[in-house]
Structure 1
């Protein structure tokens, strides 16, 4: 279930209440006249089944409530109510299959910000992976994969393509390309420092390294694995099952490939650098393609379900 907190101008309250009462899956409706001060208006509270949430939020935005008042949506982990049970039964489809596009757009917008924190996480991940590739230590590689925050911008690009949101696409591309470029540049400096301290040596980068050699030797499976990981990651975002993202993070070699490219560059090993860069691009491309296709399929399936059940996009029934 989702909990909606709306601030509605007093002259629009009846219109909003009509919309809420006509929406299948809505319950626990509360109206507090004149309770809101900034912006001024009535406070309207309600719960709605997740599968009805996207259509309702879209309808509220068409009424302009997000501009004249406010729309706040919260996920509810537990609701003990017979009315809530009935609302979920009345709503079309299953909550796990429903995509809240506004929530997804907002989440990917936040995760696609080129911020100090984002760059710090990505840089630490790439440097940690650099230690892993030089020591041929798979455990360090896995740890670096889990730390990397790059799935946010990748999901942002997929969302932007499906939602036709050019500003989100540019923001995500900037965070992705700029973040990796800066992280790799700093990792080159890190490799030079480690070499000066005697902790990295040319013999380490030239060794066979059987545990991590796959990083600079991309093949068709690199794209396949990234494609499958992109599907899983997108489903975890749209179904609010964020725990699956950890599995996605440690199944693709974006961060390790970036780190090996940086270290190889620091030792002028352009063969490994080129192979690692190819691996990086294959993984990034696979995730974006898979994420975009997954969102398109989810959108098409949900629209088809609404048509089968006789429901239209406007939940007011008008």
Structure 2
């Protein structure tokens, strides 16, 4: 279930209440007349089945409540109510399959901003991965992949493509490209410093690395793994019950590939650098393609389910 807290101008309350009462899957409706002070208006509270949430939020935005008042949405972890059970049963579809597009857009907007924190996480993750590839240590590689925040901008690009919002796509692409550029420059500098202290050596990058050599040797399996991870990651973002995003993070070699490219560049090993760049592009491309297709399929399936659940018009001439 979702909990909605609305601040509604007093002259729009009746309209909003009628909308909520007519929404299948909406329950626990309460109106606090004149309770809001900033902005002034009535406070309207209700719970709604997740599968009915996206359509309801869209209808509230169409009424302009997000501009004249406010719409706050939160997840309800536990509700002990026969009314809530009935609301979920009445709402068409399954809440775990429902996509809240506004929630997805908000989450990807926050995660796909080129902020100092985002750059710090990506740079630290890339430097950790650099230590992993130089030491041929798979544990460090996994840790670096878990730290990397790059799935946010990738999800932002997928969401923007499906929703056809060019500005969101450009912002996410800038965060992705700019973030990796800064992280790789920082990692190249980090490698030079480590070399100066004899902690990194050329023999480490050029020697046999049975645990991490795959990072700069991309093949079709790299794309396949990235594609599958992109599907899992998108489902994790859109599903109400999945917590698989951390597994996605340690399934793809975006951060390790960027790290290997940066370290190889610092030692002028352009063969490894180009191979790592190819691995990075294969992973990024596979995730974006899979994420976009997954959202399109989810959107299409949900629209078809809503059409099937819509009441059929009465035959003409019937009394």
TM-score band by shorter chain is over 0.9
Per the alignment, residue 71 of structure 2 pairs with 71
Q: Counterparts of 1:82 and 1:258 in 2: how far apart (Å)?
A: 53
Per the alignment, residue 102 of structure 1 pairs with 102
- How far 1:242 sits from its partner (Å)? 5.7
- How far 1:251 sits from its partner (Å)? 0.4
Per the alignment, residue 300 of structure 2 pairs with 300
Per the alignment, residue 182 of structure 2 pairs with 182
Per the alignment, residue 315 of structure 2 pairs with none
- How far 1:149 sits from its partner (Å)? 0.3
Per the alignment, residue 237 of structure 1 pairs with 237
1:87 aligns with 2:113: no
Q: Structure 1: which 4+ aligned runs deviate by more than 3 Å?
A: none
**With CA pairs under 8 Å and 6+ residues apart, which has the higher RCO, 1 or 2?**
1
Cα displacement string for residues 143-177 of structure 1 (whole angstroms, at most 9, x for unaligned residues): 00000000000000000000011111111011100
- How far 1:263 sits from its partner (Å)? 0.1
Q: Counterparts of 1:107 and 1:246 in 2: how far apart (Å)?
A: 16
Question: What SS is found at the alignment partner of 1:78?
Answer: coil
Q: Counterparts of 1:84 and 1:102 in 2: how far apart (Å)?
A: 23
Question: What SS is found at the alignment partner of 2:208?
Answer: coil
Per the alignment, residue 113 of structure 1 pairs with 113
Question: What SS is found at the alignment partner of 1:205?
Answer: helix
Give TM-score, length-normalised by structure 2: 0.97
Q: Counterparts of 2:309 and 2:49 in 1: how far apart (Å)?
A: 16
Per the alignment, residue 219 of structure 1 pairs with 219
CA pair 52-110 structure 1, distance change in 2 beyond 3 A: same
Structure 2 residue runs of 5 or longer lacking an equivalent are: 313-319
Q: Counterparts of 1:279 and 1:251 in 2: how far apart (Å)?
A: 13
- How far 1:311 sits from its partner (Å)? 5.5
- How far 1:243 sits from its partner (Å)? 2.4
CA pair 127-311 structure 1, distance change in 2 beyond 3 A: farther
CA pair 242-125 structure 1, distance change in 2 beyond 3 A: farther
Per the alignment, residue 19 of structure 1 pairs with 19
Cα displacement string for residues 11-52 of structure 1 (whole angstroms, at most 9, x for unaligned residues): 100000000000000000000000001111100000000000
Per the alignment, residue 130 of structure 1 pairs with 130
Per the alignment, residue 62 of structure 1 pairs with 62
Q: Counterparts of 1:90 and 1:285 in 2: how far apart (Å)?
A: 40
- How far 1:238 sits from its partner (Å)? 0.2
1:141 aligns with 2:141: yes
Per the alignment, residue 291 of structure 2 pairs with 291
Q: Counterparts of 2:105 and 2:266 in 1: how far apart (Å)?
A: 38
- How far 1:302 sits from its partner (Å)? 0.3
Per the alignment, residue 194 of structure 1 pairs with 194
Question: What SS is found at the alignment partner of 1:33?
Answer: strand
Report the count of equivalent residues: 312
- How far 1:69 sits from its partner (Å)? 0.5
Cα displacement string for residues 214-250 of structure 1 (whole angstroms, at most 9, x for unaligned residues): 0000000100000000000000000134620010000
* Alpha-carbon contact 2:95-2:240 (below 8 Å) kept: no
Structure 1 residue runs of 5 or longer lacking an equivalent are: 313-318
- How far 1:120 sits from its partner (Å)? 0.5
* Alpha-carbon contact 2:230-2:286 (below 8 Å) kept: yes
Per the alignment, residue 316 of structure 1 pairs with none
Q: Counterparts of 1:266 and 1:19 in 2: how far apart (Å)?
A: 62
